[in-house]
Amino acid sequence: MSGFFNIFIIPGGLLLIFMLLSLIRLILGPTVPDRIVALDTINTLVVAGMILVGAAYEEVIYIDVAIVYALLSYIGTLYVAKYLEGGSKK
């Protein structure tokens, strides 16, 4: 079954390249919301890559880590957005 291993490993490597492309926008984004958008994109790509790597190594625990990472990165995005929005909430 080594053919299946190669099927999932190569898209994982491609997702890594797309993460690096988003990292360019994270570094030179002119405003703060640009950087948050780039970070959110990187988080989505990391979750997709974790699922692919878990399927490639046939380990279920990697998929569980991907679930927890998706929820925690969502909370982080909401927290930064709420901070950016301004403190005085009614």
- Should residue 16 be labelled a site residue for another protein when binding is judged by CB under 8 A? no
Question: Which of 5, 34, 87, 90 forms a contact with another protein (CB under 8 A)?
Answer: 34
Number of H helices, E strands in the chain: 3, 0
- Should residue 9 be labelled a site residue for another protein when binding is judged by CB under 8 A? no
Q: What span, in angstroms and rounded, lies between the C-alpha atoms of 89 and 15? A: 38
Dihedral of alpha carbons 47, 49, 52, 54, sign: negative
Contact 5, 59 (CB under 8 A): no
Contact footprint for another protein (CB under 8 A): 3-4, 7-8, 11, 14-15, 18-19, 21-22, 24-25, 31-34, 36-38, 40-41, 44-45, 47-48, 51-52, 54-55, 58, 60, 63-64, 66-67, 70-71, 74, 77-78, 81-82, 84-86
